[in-house]
């Protein structure tokens, strides 16, 4: 296993490394912490990449964030979590798709997006209080306010759940926004060009058919929307 690099960042930005420096379209890259956290706090799913026995795996999963740590969780028997627990290299990616970009030529079609790449090593969270904080962060990340209404994890459920933290140290973001970038020779083609915005829109909540009578629909479900969420701090 490679020696873990020591990465230090200042209060506002992540330090660029050889691995996080963008080689293609570097003008779309950013290392600004506020931008990175905004993307992480809005997205739902990350993809976790790692290698076991010479074979690559990329697994989608949910996550939560507390300050400078990203948390992933799942069954204690999970191959992904058990593998990451050993300290192998891990790459976590998060992507938000903001729109389709239709150019005047097929070659120049694109997408508007915001993405984050995190490199590092995961560590198991064994402290009970920190584990509960991480699980709270997961819950609040998906739907703020839900944790207060539901039954909390019991001792058996906590034991069956593994939580790993990935320090946010070696991190970069990449963003594409705006209209198509056509070749000058194509600008006069009689073809519609522009953007089709995309967004996650919540539908009308559907109650469980076995719900107890006289249970009101909570406000956080009634008015759920996905946008730039506030961060979870200690």
pLDDT attached to residue 175: 96
Q: What DSSP character marks residue 200? A: -
Does residue 165 carry a pLDDT above 90? Answer: yes
Q: Is the pLDDT of residue 232 over 60?
A: no
Of residues 114, 125, 126, 121, the one with CA closest to residue 92: 121
- Three-state SS at 157: helix
Whether residue 70 contacts residue 40, with contact meaning beta carbons closer than 8 Å, is answered with yes
What percentage of the chain reaches a pLDDT higher than 70?
92
Q: pTM of this prediction?
A: 0.87
- pLDDT for position 26: 79
Q: Please state, in angstroms and rounded to a whole number, the distance separating the CA atoms of residues 201 and 55.
A: 37
**HSE (side-chain half, CA atoms, 13 Å) at 72:** 29
* Cα–Cα distance for residue pair 19/29, rounded to 1 Å: 13
48 dihedral zone (left: phi>0; alpha: psi -120 to 50; beta): beta
Instruction: Write the pLDDT tens digit of every residue in 18-56.
Output: 888 887 887 888 889 999 999 999 999 999 999 999 999
Alpha helices in the chain (DSSP H): 33-42, 79-84, 128-142, 155-159, 219-222
Identify the structural domains of the chain with CATH numbers, from first to last.
Answer: 26-97+111-177 (2.30.110.10)
Residue 77 confidence class, pLDDT cut points 50, 70, 90:
confident
């Amino acid at each position: 296993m490679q020696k873990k690099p020591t990465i230090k960042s200042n209060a506002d930005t992540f330090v660029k490394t050889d691995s996080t420096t963008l080689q293609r379209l570097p003008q779309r890259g950013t290392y600004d912490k506020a931008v990175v956290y905004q993307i992480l706090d809005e997205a739902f799913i990350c993809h976790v990449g790692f290698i076991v026995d010479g074979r690559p795996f990329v697994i989608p999963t949910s996550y939560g964030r507390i300050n400078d740590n990203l948390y992933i969780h799942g069954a204690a028997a999970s191959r992904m979590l058990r593998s990451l627990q050993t300290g192998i290299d891990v790459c976590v990616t998060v992507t938000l798709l903001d729109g389709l970009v239709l150019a005047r030529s097929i070659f120049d079609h694109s997408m508007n997006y915001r993405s984050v790449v995190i490199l590092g090593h995961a560590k198991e969270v064994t402290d009970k209080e920190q584990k509960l904080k991480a699980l709270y962060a997961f819950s609040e990340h998906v739907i703020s306010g839900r944790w207060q209404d539901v039954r909390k994890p019991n001792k058996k459920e906590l034991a069956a759940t593994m939580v790993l933290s990935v320090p946010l140290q070696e991190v970069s973001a990449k963003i594409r926004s705006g209209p198509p970038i056509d070749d000058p020779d194509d600008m006069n083609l009689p073809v519609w060009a522009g953007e089709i915005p995309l967004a996650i829109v919540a539908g009308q909540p559907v109650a469980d058919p076995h719900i107890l009578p006289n249970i009101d629909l909570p406000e956080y479900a009634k008015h759920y929307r996905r946008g730039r969420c506030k961060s979870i701090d200690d």
